[in-house]
């Protein structure tokens, strides 16, 4: 890489000063390095149209304060602006008279288009945009089949992924996951002498959000705290991950989304646990989940039509429910009023906290699609608005998996029964009771299907169906038959 006098590092979804590819390369090749984050109006303005409270924007804002403090310890700081990144980056590069802009690659179609425009604008001014792989282990076309084609099925992709990361001995190459050095020489990081303070949430139109009350730790320290808590639990991950009332997941998804932890760090810890023999099946399954993340990024890169359309085009022939009744059913699903406790508790968790357990993402998605017969794209869009960890590739991949329209998706005739899912994965009803306290007096036998509970038992629990808790929107057995008929078009 060329040597530069001045460079600008543009932070996006990589809000950390350690093990950061763009920052590493900028510091290695430039005498002076400035750092910037743009609260992009092209992203934020549509969010404001949905309301002033957004947990993700609050998470970013809090994480940036920590990042700024760390950069200042190295002699620099973070320039933070509220503007259109598509024009502001080139303008700031001109203002600072930098030779190059460094950033980590973003694989979403709109981001790719934006970066291409910025690269052209910089090029016209005699500057260059350098993009680096940072949010995945393997990107784009790095993992291909023996026929040099992208995979569309996960298991062979995972096997190829693991092989690509392995040494001739068969052990995983831990050196390939080593953290990148981001420690500058004295004076290498720089900051504008008259930089204005960071924009407040209020100045950008957003309300403050009490993330601490929601138990969402922010920034690099928050991610590190969660990781430290998870490491002793990793070996039990396979056994515990499907039970929402149990502390099974790592809860790191929002930190992966915004890059307050490094994917290399997580993959390396999983690999070390595997190779030491201490991680057991839990470490193997957790590493597999990280591979799924790479897999969906790869699918999005090679199949951009999945944004708004089915991976399998024939599934776009399905006729979904529409009209007033479907709209009412969709609203009931969004608000946790379907009459199926596990589904409703999961939606309450999402709406109140911005988090949903992965097993429940599958359950609620399958219910919307295959019990209510509503287009998966409506559910995908709702999750996109509500999830703290919303990531286009994973969200799209998950919804297409549930709708059977995606790559390596569940068969269309596999239809989750929301009651048996509840009995299996929340057997005591602990999770349900946490988010549906009106059902708290029902025992484990009755809490999963209140409409089947004798009136006397309901009365003793202080529950009147239709008043304290809704009756089911649909009968699952009847809905299943309709779904099989609806999906018959894909067999023609």
- The pLDDT, as a whole number, for residue 484 is 95
- Distance (Å) of CA 78 to CA 37, 57, 85, 195, 292: 7, 17, 15, 9, 33
Q: Which residue has the higher pLDDT, 414 or 246?
A: 246
CB-based contacts of 86: which residues, under 8 Å, 6+ apart?
A: 42, 114, 117, 118
What strand order describes the sheet that includes 30-40?
Answer: 79-83, 30-40, 4-11, 100-104, 128-132
> Which CATH architecture does the domain made up of 135-176+220-302 adopt?
Alpha Horseshoe (1.25)
Mean pLDDT of 42-49: 96
Mean pLDDT of 285-306: 97
**pLDDT of 195 above 90:** no
**pLDDT of 269 above 70:** yes
pLDDT level of residue 186 (50, 70, 90 thresholds): low
pLDDT level of residue 315 (50, 70, 90 thresholds): very high
Mean pLDDT of 18-35: 96
Superfamily of domain 313-491: DNA Cyclobutane Dipyrimidine Photolyase, subunit A, domain 3 (1.10.579.10)
Mean pLDDT of 195-204: 94
For the chain, which residues make up each domain, given as ranges? 4-132, 135-176+220-302, 313-491
- The pLDDT, as a whole number, for residue 492 is 55
- The pLDDT, as a whole number, for residue 187 is 66
The pLDDT tens digits for 421-459 are 999 999 999 999 999 999 999 999 999 999 999 999 999
The pLDDT tens digits for 390-418 are 999 999 999 999 999 999 888 888 899 99
pLDDT level of residue 193 (50, 70, 90 thresholds): confident
**pLDDT of 179 above 60:** yes
Pick the CATH number of 4-132 from 3.40.50.620, 3.90.1300.10, 3.30.1330.40, 3.40.50.300: 3.40.50.620
**pLDDT of 40 above 70:** yes
Q: Which residues are catalytic?
A: 289, 292, 320, 358, 376, 399
The pLDDT tens digits for 57-83 are 999 999 999 999 999 999 999 999 999
- The pLDDT, as a whole number, for residue 20 is 98
pLDDT level of residue 47 (50, 70, 90 thresholds): very high
Going 159 to 244 to 483 to 400, the CA torsion angle's sign is negative
- The pLDDT, as a whole number, for residue 135 is 96
Average pLDDT score, the chain: 96
- In the chain, what percentage of residues exceed pLDDT 70? 99
The pLDDT tens digits for 329-387 are 999 999 999 999 999 999 999 999 999 999 999 999 999 999 999 999 999 999 999 99
pLDDT level of residue 216 (50, 70, 90 thresholds): very high
Half-sphere exposure of 154 (CA within 13 A, CB side): 18
């Amino acid at each position: 890489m060329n040597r530069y006098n001045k460079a600008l590092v543009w932070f996006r979804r990589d809000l950390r000063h350690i093990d950061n590819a763009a920052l590493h390369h900028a510091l290695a090749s430039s005498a002076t390095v400035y750092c910037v984050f743009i609260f992009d109006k092209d992203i934020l303005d549509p969010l404001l149209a949905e309301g002033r409270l957004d947990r993700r924007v609050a998470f970013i804002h809090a994480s940036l304060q920590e990042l700024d403090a760390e950069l200042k310890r190295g002699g620099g700081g973070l320039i933070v602006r509220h503007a259109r990144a598509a024009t502001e980056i080139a303008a700031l590069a001109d203002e600072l008279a930098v030779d190059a802009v460094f950033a980590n690659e973003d694989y979403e179609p709109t981001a790719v288009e934006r970066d291409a425009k910025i690269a052209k604008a910089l090029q016209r001014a005699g500057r260059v945009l350098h993009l680096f792989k940072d949010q995945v282990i393997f990107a784009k076309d790095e993992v291909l089949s023996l026929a040099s084609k992208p995979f569309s099925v996960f298991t062979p992709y995972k096997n190829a992924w693991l092989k690509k990361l392995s040494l001739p001995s068969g052990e995983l190459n831990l050196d390939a996951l080593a953290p990148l050095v981001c420690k500058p020489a004295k004076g290498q990081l720089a900051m504008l002498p008259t930089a204005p303070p960071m924009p407040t949430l209020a100045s950008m139109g957003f309300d403050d959000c009490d993330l601490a009350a929601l138990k969402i730790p922010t920034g690099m320290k928050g991610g590190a705290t969660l990781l430290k808590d998870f490491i002793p639990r990793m070996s039990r991950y396979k056994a515990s991950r499907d039970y929402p009332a149990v502390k099974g997941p790592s809860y790191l998804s929002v930190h992966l989304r915004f890059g307050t932890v490094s994917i290399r760090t997580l993959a390396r810890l999983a690999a070390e646990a595997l190779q030491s023999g201490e991680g057991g099946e839990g470490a193997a399954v957790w590493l597999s989940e990280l591979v799924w993340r790479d897999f969906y990024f790869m699918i999005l890169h090679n199949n951009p039509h999945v944004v708004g359309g089915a991976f399998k085009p024939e599934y776009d022939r399905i006729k979904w429910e529409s009209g007033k009744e479907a709209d009412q059913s969709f609203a009931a699903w969004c608000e946790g009023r379907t009459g199926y406790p596990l589904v409703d508790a999961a939606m309450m968790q999402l709406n109140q906290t911005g988090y949903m357990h992965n097993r429940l993402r599958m359950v609620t998605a399958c219910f919307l699609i295959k019990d209510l017969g509503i287009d998966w794209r409506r559910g995908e869009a709702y999750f996109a608005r509500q999830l703290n960890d919303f990531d286009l590739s994973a969200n799209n991949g998950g919804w297409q998996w549930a709708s059977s329209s995606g790559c390596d998706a569940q068969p269309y005739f596999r239809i989750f029964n929301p009651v048996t899912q509840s009995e299996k994965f929340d057997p005591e009803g602990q999770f349900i009771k946490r988010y549906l306290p009106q059902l708290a007096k029902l025992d484990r036998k009755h809490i999963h299907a209140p409409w089947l509970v004798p009136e006397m038992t309901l009365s003793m629990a202080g529950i009147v169906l239709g008043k304290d808790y809704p009756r089911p929107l649909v009968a699952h057995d009847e809905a299943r038959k309709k779904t099989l008929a609806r999906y018959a078009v894909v067999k023609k």
